[in-house]
A = this chain, B = another copy of it.
Amino acid sequence: MAEPIPIIGGTGALGAGLARRWTAAGRPVALGSRSAQRAEEAAARIREAVPGAEVEGLLNEDAARRAEIVFLTVPFRAQSENLNNLRDVLRPGQILVDCTVPLAAAVSGKATRSLGVWQGSAAQQAQEMVPEGVAVVAALHTVGAPTLADAEAELDEDVLICADRKADKGRVAELIELIGGLRAVNAGPLEMARIVEQLTPLLISINVRYKAHAGIKLTGLPEADHWS
């Protein structure tokens, strides 16, 4: 049986959307929350929506122990607290996939604006906070939660992945491409998360204007696989 995919903050919109897509693709998910009860409730909703879904609701700390690659899908406001809670949980060799976007909404500002993060990006802040030996990979900032949650919605977009080691990006790309319609693109070292995280307020602004759920796609890339 395949390893479960741990999702920290799995009761939120992005985490729950990913959980639906991965379970629908046949992968088990370890859905984490600060409350075991809320995690189990969210897991139950996924089992109801996705026939045959293998999903467990757990405390975040327990979810994070279930596999090497852990997804963090909390709002920016909660990122630090979550990383503090995982400090004694994450082990060297694990990969933390940070999906956080520093929207100004975190401080009651607009979701079409962002906050400056001292380290350059939320992902670089995460890299500073995880235990030594844990690699941070930034990804999934531009995939809309409503689109993920809507089983009828066909995805057709790219996921830009930033991290310092290509091998780490490749492992995360494999999980992302389990979801049909998503193509993983190597967007460079972790510092490029400064730019990639900004795509979210841009897309939010465009979505409001066009009443759409826009995604991003790069044109002109060769077909070749750049992960191997």
Contacts and interface: CB of A to CB of B under 8 A. Distances in A.
Interface of A: 112-114, 147, 156-157, 160, 185-188, 191-192, 194-196, 198-199, 201-203, 205-206, 209-222, 226
A220 B211 contact: no
A196 B210 CA distance: 17
Contacts of A160: 202
13 contacts: A112-B188, A113-B191, A156-B219, A185-B206, A187-B202, A188-B206, A198-B198, A210-B221, A214-B219, A214-B220, A215-B220, A216-B218, A217-B217
B199 A195 contact: yes
Contact of A213 (B114, B195, B217, B220): B220
Nearest to A226: B210
Contact of A202 (B157, B192, B215): B192
State how many copies of this chain the complex holds: 2
Nearest to A112: B188
A147 B220 contact: yes
A154 to B, nearest CB: 10
Contacts of A205: 187-188, 192
A214 B210 contact: no
A214 B221 contact: yes
B201 A212 contact: no
Given A112-B192, A188-B202, A209-B226, 18 more contacts: A112-B188, A114-B195, A156-B220, A186-B209, A187-B202, A187-B205, A188-B209, A192-B205, A194-B198, A195-B198, A195-B199, A198-B198, A211-B222, A215-B220, A216-B218, A216-B219, A217-B218, A217-B219
Contacts of A188: 112, 202, 205-206, 209
B222 A212 contact: yes
